[in-house]
């Protein structure tokens, strides 16, 4: 019984990972390189597990790809902006204060319905940022409708969606580096 659970879980992850449009992954990698070459930055935002993933990928982009990348995961920033502007607006306000025209925003919401992430996407578009979205659950979720490039996982399982997003994002890092396996310096 236990082995059947893990077999099914691994099969779901495998199928989700391989459902991606590889051309979209290439487009995101190209956009990251263009944004970096122009002196602009990558902003990656998510909630909960997606925020942790954003931190991981942001550090990889900065260290390994040599691309400026930031998240808004500082407790003081998040709690201040959520307190002063409301939780649904804290990402929008952070983008307003920290983003510059020409930056790239990667916005992650497993459900695609997180109001703070949706409001951030709207603000990013208004400010002239390219918006990449990562979502799951409903194919017609609101976040997916807002991006320039949208990656979507056909699953209602948070762990399936989040782990798939994570693998896609670190695969983009490795694609830019040009190696599937390498020792980090």
Reported CATH class of domain 2-177: alpha beta
Between 1 and 46, the more confident residue is 46
Indicate the pLDDT class of residue 181, thresholds 50, 70 and 90.
Answer: confident
Kindly report the pTM of this predicted structure: 0.95
117 touches 107 (CB < 8 A):
yes
- Cβ–Cβ contacts within 10 Å for residue 166, how many? 20
CA atoms within 13 A on the CB side of 154: 8
Which residues partner with 135 through β-bridges?
A: 109, 152
Residues 15-56: tens digit of each pLDDT: 999 999 999 999 999 999 999 999 999 999 999 999 999 999
pLDDT at site 165: 98
Residues 133-144: tens digit of each pLDDT: 999 999 999 999
């Amino acid at each position: 019984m236990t082995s059947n659970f893990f077999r099914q879980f691994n099969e779901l992850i495998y199928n989700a990972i391989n459902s991606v449009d590889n051309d979209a992954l290439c487009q995101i990698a190209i956009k990251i390189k263009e944004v970096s070459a122009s002196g602009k930055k990558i902003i990656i935002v998510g909630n909960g597990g997606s925020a942790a993933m954003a931190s991981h990928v942001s550090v990889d982009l900065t260290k390994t790809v040599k691309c400026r990348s930031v998240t808004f995961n500082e407790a003081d920033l998040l709690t201040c902006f959520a307190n002063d502007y409301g939780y649904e607006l804290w990402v929008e306000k952070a983008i307003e204060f920290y983003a510059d025209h020409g930056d790239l925003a990667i916005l992650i919401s497993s459900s695609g319905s997180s109001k703070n992430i949706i409001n951030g996407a709207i603000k990013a578009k208004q400010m002239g940022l390219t918006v990449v979205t990562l979502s799951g659950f409903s194919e017609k979720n609101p976040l997916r409708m807002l991006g320039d490039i949208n990656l979507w996982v056909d699953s209602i399982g948070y762990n399936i969606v989040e782990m798939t997003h994570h693998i896609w994002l670190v695969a983009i890092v490795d694609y830019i580096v040009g190696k599937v396996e390498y020792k980090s310096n």
